[in-house]
C-alpha cells in the first residue's frame, strides 16, 4: 500500500469515528432543554457540513495526481484538524 493510500485510509477511519461521535452528540443534544436544543442542532448541522467537506477533500486526495497531492495534503490536513477540533469543542459544551 502506498503512503497516499495509507494516509487516505487513516483519514477515512478518523472521519468515520468523528461521524460516530457526532451521532452520539446529536442523541445527547436531543435530551437538552428546549432553549439549548436549537443551539445544539445548529452545531450538529455545522459538524455534518464539515464532515462532508472533509470527505470531499479525502476523495479529491485519492484521485489527485502526484503534482497535486502535496497541495491537497496540506489542505486536507487543515480541514480535518478543524473538523476534529470542532467535534471536540462541541463535546466539551455538552458536559
Rounded CA gap, 4 and 69, in Å?
8
The answer to whether the CB of 45 falls within 8 A of the CB of 26 is no
Structural domain including 60 reads: 3-93
Tens of pLDDT along the chain (95 residues)?
788 888 888 889 999 999 999 998 888 888 878 878 888 888 889 999 999 988 998 888 888 887 787 787 888 888 888 888 888 888 888 76
pTM tops 0.85, yes or no: no
The answer to whether the CB of 29 falls within 8 A of the CB of 47 is no
Q: Using CB atoms within 10 A of its CB, is residue 38 exposed (0-12), middle (13-18) or buried (19+)? A: exposed
Rounded CA gap, 8 and 76, in Å?
10
- In total, how many domains does the chain have? 1
Amino acid at each position: 500500500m502506498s503512503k497516499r493510500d495509507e494516509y487516505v485510509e487513516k483519514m477515512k477511519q478518523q472521519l468515520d469515528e468523528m461521524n460516530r461521535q457526532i451521532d452520539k452528540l446529536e442523541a445527547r443534544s436531543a435530551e437538552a432543554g428546549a432553549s439549548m436544543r436549537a443551539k445544539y442542532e445548529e452545531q450538529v448541522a455545522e459538524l455534518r457540513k464539515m464532515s462532508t467537506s472533509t470527505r470531499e477533500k479525502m476523495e479529491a486526495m485519492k484521485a489527485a495526481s502526484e503534482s497535486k497531492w502535496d497541495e491537497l495534503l496540506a489542505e486536507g490536513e487543515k480541514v480535518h484538524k478543524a473538523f476534529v477540533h470542532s467535534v471536540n469543542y462541541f463535546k466539551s459544551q455538552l458536559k
